[in-house]
Amino acid sequence: MAAIKKTLGFGLAGVMALASVAAMAQTGYPNRPIRWIVPSPAGAPIDAIGRKLGELMSARLGASIVIENKPGAGSTIGATEVARAKPDGYTLMLSVGDALISSVVTMKVPYDPHRDFTLISKIAASGPVLIANKSMPAGDLAGAVKEAQAAQVPLAYGSYGPGSYPQLIMESLARQSTVKFIEVPYKGSPPAMTDLLGGQLAFTFTSTSIAAPMIADGKVKAIAVIGDRRSALLPEVQTFAEAGYDAFIFKNKAWVGLSGPAGMSADVVQKLAAAAQQVVRDPEFGKYLENIGFDAVGNTPEEFLKEYREEYSVVPGLIKELGVAAH
């Protein structure tokens, strides 16, 4: 009988049932469709990446990958389903970090991010751009802060719920610049963008690829980008750090990662990670990511875990400092 393999969960050892390992050895993985839970709405940048990545990984794995969008509650609805799934490699999650970092601090969730998931590979990272309604006079971050300071009623921004990166960035900005904003939570970027264009919001965040043509058409204004350098798609737009806001949260890029439930076979994890890395390192996919404002990553499970731990060591403390709470 095959030896029991150690999992690559969040630093905690676990084992697969012998029957599952034996079945996998006999039939090979994968031998049926794989479900990918994407806890973002259809049409969001993460959804687009998931569909492209799934298509290319499917060809390498020899099995179809089916995307299921399950947004809401700071990505925890989809994450909960994955955490409760069988660790057989047929239910995975492609998500941003909220479900595994900020949401578990701001909400009561039925899972432990360190114990209940297996990290497979960080696929890509991106510095989102803060955009403003076209009617705002300001055209940069200093101007936007002045507008907020002068406003009789606090300006509203669209977030993706408690602890989401738009909320952490905007509340950190408010604290450092001594202004007040009104947060309006959404299930994702598309509905927030709709309300920004409709005049219900002053600000929101989106990917640089979505923002670039809208900025060129005069539909929205670019204020600043997250990251340690300017975006290749918006080279004229300054970073938050250039404007004097250089704390970790203003430079930490949003990421997209592939994960699964705890207890997955090491062989399956490595097979999935290898397939993901092959796709991410392919020039065609790299160009696709570049065109939508993302940097290719494609790291190993061990590297993904290390970076996750580094981020988790900072963000929960920031959330508590800001007093962020669920609505």
Domain boundaries, the chain: 34-126+253-322, 128-251
pLDDT(26) > 70: no
Categorize the per-residue pLDDT at 98 as very low, low, confident or very high, splitting at 50, 70 and 90: confident
Report pLDDT for 22.
Answer: 39
| Rounded average pLDDT over 2-8 | 39
Nearest to 82 by CA among 203, 262, 229: 262
Query: Rounded to the nearest 10 degrees, how much is the dihedral formed by the CA atoms of 58, 63, 64, 69?
Result: -80
**Helix or strand (DSSP H, E) at 261:** strand 254-261
Residue 169's contacts (CB-CB under 8 Å, 6 or more residues apart) are 130, 205, 226, 240, 249, 250
For residues 128 and 19, is the Cβ–Cβ distance under 8 A? no
Cis peptide before 30 (omega within 30 of 0): yes
Is 75:111 a contact under the CB 8 Å cutoff?
no
- Long-range contacts at 266-271 (CB < 8 A, ≥ 24 apart): 266/5, 266/6, 266/7, 266/8, 267/5, 267/24, 267/29, 268/24, 268/29, 268/88, 268/89, 269/7, 269/8, 269/89, 269/118, 269/120, 269/301, 270/301, 271/29, 271/61
**Residue 322 DSSP SS3:** helix
Sequence-ordered list of residues with C-beta below 8 angstroms from that of 205, at least 6 positions apart, any chain: 128, 129, 130, 131, 158, 165, 166, 169, 189
> pLDDT tens, 193-227?
999 999 999 999 998 989 999 999 999 999 999 99
3-class secondary structure per residue, 20-41: HHHHHHHHCCCCCCEEEEECCC
Residue 126 pairs with which residues in a beta bridge? 254
Q: Is the model's pLDDT at 7 over the cut of 70?
A: no
Would you state the pLDDT for residue 55? 96
pLDDT confidence tier of residue 326, bands split at 50, 70 and 90: low
Q: Give the lowest-confidence range in 5-14, 224-233, 245-254.
A: 5-14
Q: Between residues 117 and 41, which one has the greater pLDDT? A: 117
pLDDT digits (tens, 9 = 90+) for 28-85: 999 999 999 999 889 888 899 999 999 999 999 999 999 999 998 878 999 999 999 9
Per-residue confidence at 292, pLDDT binned at 50, 70, 90? confident
Tokens 């790291």 sit at which residue?
Answer: 299
The answer, yes or no, to whether residue 149 has pLDDT greater than 60, is yes
| pLDDT value of residue 1 | 42
The residue among 202, 209, 204, 183 whose CA lies nearest residue 192 is 204
- For residue 320, what are the β-bridge partners? none
What was the pLDDT predicted at 27? Answer: 54
Q: CA dist 316 to 9, 50, 115, 166, Å?
A: 20, 27, 17, 15
Average pLDDT across the chain, whole number: 89
Look at 326 and 227; give whichever has higher pLDDT. Answer: 227
Angle between helices 283-291 and 45-61 (to 10 degrees): 170
Instruction: Dump pLDDT digits (tens) for 242-253.
Output: 999 999 999 999
**Are both 34-126+253-322 and 128-251 of the same fold?**
yes
**What is the DSSP code (8-state) at residue 110?**
S
Distances 192 to 108, 145, 226 between C-alpha atoms, Å = 24, 20, 18
CB atoms within 10 A of CB 24: 20
Domain 34-126+253-322 has CATH 3.50.50.100: no
Average pLDDT over residues 106-121: 94
Given this model, what pLDDT does residue 105 score?
86
Domain 128-251 classified CATH 3.30.70.920? no
To the question of pTM greater than 0.85 for the whole model, the response is no
- pLDDT value at 234 more than 60: yes
267 or 7, which is more confident: 267
Predicted confidence at residue 125, as pLDDT, reads: 94
